[in-house]
């Protein structure tokens, strides 16, 4: 199959928790109530990667769970967006092209989820206390465009 006819939009890690379970973790940490549009479903590693990067990453994605670790260690919240900051270890860290790995938890109505990248580029996340750090088990996820060409 040619990647050119089935372009990859992004490659990500998908937590093995449901959106509701991640939202509960946010609230259990005593963080502000979530904004109306809850996302909480992935950690983007690559956005619109080249065909070569896709081939390399797909080959590298054949890792076992102990080869990668996602540590949730901080958070940001504004009236527009909320996100968990994450620290990646292992293969995911090697492949990640996102300068600020995170999980967009929620946004205000009309605010796109990628706004969290802009917010994290401008502001430092509030750290979670050591006792509240937590590790997520994740699966890999490849999102392809539905258009040809």
What share of the chain in percent tops pLDDT 90?
A: 34
Q: What angle do CA 23, 28, 30 make, to 5 degrees?
A: 110
Q: What angle do CA 30, 35, 37 make, to 5 degrees?
A: 135
Given a cut of 60, whether residue 64 has pLDDT beyond it is no
**pLDDT category of residue 5 using cuts at 50, 70 and 90:** very low
Among 33-37, 48-52, 71-75, 125-129, the range with the most confident prediction by mean pLDDT is: 33-37
Report the C-alpha gap between 34 and 51 in whole angstroms: 37
DSSP calls for 37-71: EE----EEEEES--HHHHHHHHHHT---GGGEEEE
Give the pLDDT of residue 66.
53
**pLDDT category of residue 49 using cuts at 50, 70 and 90:** confident
CB proximity list for 1: less than 8 A, separation 6 or greater:
none
Q: Which residue has the higher pLDDT, 121 or 41?
A: 121
Given a cut of 90, whether residue 97 has pLDDT beyond it is no
Structure tokens at 99: 């300068």
> pTM value?
0.81
CB proximity list for 74: less than 8 A, separation 6 or greater:
84, 85, 125, 126, 127, 128
Give the pLDDT of residue 33.
94
């Amino acid at each position: 199959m040619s990647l050119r006819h089935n372009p990859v939009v992004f490659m990500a890690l998908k937590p093995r928790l449901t959106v509701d379970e991640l939202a509960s973790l946010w609230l259990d940490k005593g963080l502000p109530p979530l904004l109306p549009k809850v996302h909480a479903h992935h950690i983007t590693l690559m956005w619109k990667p080249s065909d070569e990067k896709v081939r390399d990453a797909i080959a590298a994605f054949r890792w076992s769970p102990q080869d990668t670790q996602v540590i949730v260690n901080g958070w940001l919240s504004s009236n527009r967006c909320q996100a968990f900051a994450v620290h990646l270890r292992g293969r995911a860290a090697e492949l990640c092209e996102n300068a600020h790995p995170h999980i967009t938890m929620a946004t205000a109505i009309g605010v796109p989820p990628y706004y969290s990248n802009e917010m994290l580029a401008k502001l430092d996340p509030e750290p979670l206390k050591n006792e509240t750090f937590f590790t997520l088990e994740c699966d890999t996820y490849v999102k392809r465009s539905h258009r040809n060409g």
